[in-house]
Structure 1
Amino acid sequence: MLDNGNFVLYDSESRIIWQSFDNPTDTLLPGQRLLEREEIVSSASETDYGRGNFRLKMQHDGNLVQYPVNTPDATPYDYYASETNTDGNVSLNLDRDGRLYLLHNDRVTLLNISNGGLPTQGSINFMRLDVGGIFRIYSLSLGDLNLTRRWSSTEDECAPKGICGINAFCILIDSAPECQCLPGFVFVQSVCSRNFSVQGCSKTDNRLRYDMRTVENTVWEDSSYEILQMMMNEEECSKACLDDCNCEAAFYKDGQCKKQRLLLRYGRRSLEDSNVAALIRFGTNTVPDIGGDSDRKRIIKNEGRMDILIIGIVLMSIGVLTLSISVIFVRQRQKDYMKISKEAGDSFVEGISLQVYTFQHLSEATNGFKEEVGRGASGTVFKGVMQNGLKMVAVKRLEKEFAQGEREFQTELKTIGKMYHRNLVRLLGYCFDGDNKLLVFEYMRNGSLANILFNQEKRPNWEERMDIARDVSRGILYLHQECETQIIHCDINPQNILMDDNWRAKISDFGLAKLLKQDQTNTITGIRGTKGYVAPEWFQKQPITVKVDVYSFGVMLLEIICCRKCVDSSKNEKRQFLRNGFTTVMQQGRLGVWWGMKRWMRVKWRGWQR
């Protein structure tokens, strides 16, 4: 046991074979580091040092983030983040004086989390992730072993997600957290359980009546299965939930009603979202036990039977009417389906679930396809507005001759209809109406990478360009390695990289994509892609692999670094092709010197651009 608190095991040659500093639990001591991809986990309780409910992770992207345990490393689950995005190699460090900070590349202080400056004489400072999910810095007096809290990551003890468990929410009473169950639930062995049995899904059962109870100003994990827009008030949202057998709760805010199923997680009272209401389905007994003489019982019993008879007749009539309408509707849908099947084939949308639009609907949404926002390898993209002006979309209209257009249409549907990744443009729906083939995508407000990269006024700085490169590489990695079906995009270039509202880069235009079968690593196909980005194996008629995308990405990476096009006809013949300059310095062995000079010039003059 070393003086700094590190417990070390040595072998017979005095070499370290294990040390506690490399295996942190819930605490960091001075000199101990939390390295990239490592995490610490809170204890189960103050007396149980097993694995608890919260974790603090040093992510590979440079962010220090807190999550509940057993959740993905994703934004919807975090409740603390340092917001220090970098290219990685960041560690969390603690000094003897209590200064907690993030260090980049073992040299540069990226962020001072706590100020430090705590006295060290006769005491030890350490950081701990507490049972309640908040990490704090404590000072332990070595004389009387008195423990003093010196700093906290937050003073809101309800901030950690999941502190109160399932179907419960956290409120602060005199700055102390208190857990309360949802209406209709009670604590049973520290777990919120229903205090009534669910007998059916109608508003009124044999002895149970349902209504909705409101829990004001609370926020929860949103796992809605249906979202209703343009709701006038909470009463409309409550009625919509009561009429739905699957709905057990709903969240209402600003005219939007989100239907939920139980169990609800991560609930807490929030004054920031003071106009949010959680509506909970609640059951109450309404038919009490009846006493008195037998005649009164008989009268009530007969009245009950008559009510049942009347209700039965009404329900039967409604059922017959509903069945008739359903038969007519189903037959009409079958006719429409058969019409589509004859024109398009039965299997081209097999296995995907997308919104189907009519050509007239999309024509109205795009105002007659007037506002063109871009062109891809397989069609023209127009700006559209849906949901009464609340949602903007991008509508891609395939304009090539029928056979090729249909093939590309089916390719794009099959390729991205099943995919979802934050660095891929999301497909929302489609239209297949004879020769009219259209795809509906999420709208990317900031245009393409080419629009900003080759524009002197919009040109991003070095850090922003590196973020863009990382975003594109993550999208390509997903296509090549993480999809169920390996996909070769075949046309990676700045025109097909779009920027969302947060300036995150996303890959688009899968009209030329090539899908590989399972266990297939290459394929033979004709030349695809854009001039300047096409890999040499296309021209050599060699089998095509995912490396053609890597080549195109490499060309685009040179463009991102230098902020100029890979082929620029305005320059002289020697400088017309961007890769020629890199080829020359590589052949002469000067690439490292050239790159070092570029970095030195960038630091020396921040305004310098290629």
Structure 2
Amino acid sequence: MDSVVLFLLLSTFFTSSAQQMESNVSRGSYLTPGINSTWLSRSGLYAFGFYKQGNGYAVGIFLAGIPQKTVVWTANRDVPPVSSSATLSFSRDGTLVLQSTPEQTQIIIADSLGSTSAAMLDTGNFVLYNSDQEIQWQSFEHPTDSLLPGQRLLAGTELFSSVSATDHSTGIFRLKMQHDGHLVQYPVDTPDTAGYAYWGSGTFGSGDNVTLNFSPDGHLYLLNATGANIRNVTDGGYPTKDTIYLMRIDADGIFRLYSYELKQNGNWSVVWSSSGDLCDPKGLCGLNGYCVSNDTEARCVCLPGFEMVHPGNRTAGCEKSFNAADCNSKNEYNTYTMRELANTVWEDISYSVLSFPLKEDCKQACLEDCNCEAALFKDSRCRKQRLPLRYGRRQLTDSNIAFIKVGKSTPADMPKPNQEGHRLEMLIISAVFLTFGGMMLVISGIVFYKNHFWYRKLPVNGNAEVGDDVAPRSFTYPELEKATDGFREEVGRGSFGTVYKGAILNGQKIVAVKKLEKVLAEGEREFQTEMKVIGRTHHRNLVRLLGYCHDGTHRLLVYEYMSNGSLADILFTPEKQTCWEERKGIARDIARGILYLHEECERQIIHCDIKPQNILMDDYGCAKISDFGLAKLLKPDQTRTFTGIRGTKGYVAPEWHRKLPITVKADVYSYGIVLLEIVCRRKSVDWSLPEDIAILEGWAYHCFESGDLDQLVGPDDEVDKKQFERMVKLGLWCIQDEPSLRPSMKKVLLMLEGTIDIPTPPSPTSFFSVI
């Protein structure tokens, strides 16, 4: 009996070894993107070969046996993705090579001359063997951003994060197993010194051959040269039945341990992470930007007077948004101001350190020093710095104050005198202009007073005209009742009231009269909001408010009449649909109107309800934004506000539901949805379509990611393919979940006009997902 047991044990051992050593790839084998694209492990869980990245393909190892095709290793990760005509070959000499086209130079994946076979093992390790079944090369010895159970990180080696969840080229963070026994996280391109570390294992001085090891039960631990455990990074002992584990340094700079239950067919779950503070990784926000975190996300904010270099890449940092003359303390035309930023910490690269009892002294010292562009003040120490500032983050427990020197922009043609004579000449000219201006102001005041120019009451049946330069005039209720023939012809209806067609000026001018019906609460608020907001605006892409009625309980608004209805009528009515060039023009018109509200008004305005029904079309096909009843007029010093949810379902930005501060980026989100509707000529949500394409934003991203945008174009719709792709990409940028990733409307317009390039957008709903 004992001999039988021994035989069975030996048989099991040799069978298991044979399975691990057995080759499923022979020399001369090759792969191409498409049907024959991977070599699978015996169980089918892991695959080696081509996977989709951007608009092309990369080569690597990924989990093929689960719905989330999670990449765990990438070959030559900084080589651009290859086309569908590429070939991956296990050559006759035993080398693994990638060739994009027959004309291009071969890229060596694994240089292992003499290898006779290869295998994708169930451990996730891809190996090349010689004729004696000895390993010549293995992916486990060349990790990228991940480790799998059984894999080690040797002394002197490191993992590098990926750029993003969808771009597996080298990112900006690294995890290094140092020769001194210390496992440490740093930004890339920094020395291995404590000043740049943002996480460490605390095992400095433990020996020169310490390794990071990974067990199947999720146990991450450090062993020294003698095999002694010197530190448990994770406790281990997690369930192993039908569960797999993965350790990775993510694109956000934090390394995490994940688990996946194969039976559940579910999602990856975070078991452990190196930090609970998403702003810990240094450099997450790039130069001149600082990180602000809450429990669920990290947000990058620019220094005062700066803006994001690239709205889709927070690590690209921030650049100056102002123009200022060269610093010269004797130049009175060159003025600077110091902006204060409290509770932020930065890398200390000061060129001068001074002692001051008060922060105002530090502020003034930097202002008077042409070399100083920022100053850090803490504990009476004033550290003068030059830009750029690095590794910024908000830390409420830190008393550090940063002073940023911001130049006040001066017109390009403003003279920059440096002689007393020139200054005297400018003073004389200025005095003359001031005197002349004062005289004109007095004369204008007299004329306005005598003619009652502002808000004069014009008779409906008179001959006076309502010109573009006249402020909204007051109507009585009977006047508007007569102008609309008893509110006979209804042309539109909204949540707060009904719009009727009417005529004033003896029937010479057609108008739209909006009759607010919920007067006691919402209607009164909408009336006051529209009066405040649109009454002070004037732009060709905003519907003009001509008058109003505030008569007893009656609240009515009189607008210019838009003869071609709304954008919704044009987009969603088959017989009215417009051509590609006209839709491009409409998209630009809307962008110009929103840009005016955001950046060119006296007070910044957030419309809060951008949707096709609120975009009206005039006689000439010009699009104009209407319905400002939900708009938010910001105070002069405001850039954000807290308010209850406003807008229409399907167009409302995610931050409304999360009770986060609302900025102009909420309008950018709504515009992105509308833009996708314009270019695709369909509603953003249409449940009459199959479920997988009913929601436009998800369907659009799927088609973009798969390189099949033709599915978004109707059979009778002739579009410029290159322009169509640009506008889809722009729409996807505008609807990013994170507001800071969305471009400003100024950049949206530049992208629409082709002035600046549009990079590849991440998934609107999965940019912050960990897998």
TM-score band by shorter chain is 0.3 to 0.5
Q: Which has the larger radius of gyration?
A: 2
State TM-score, norm by structure 2. Answer: 0.37
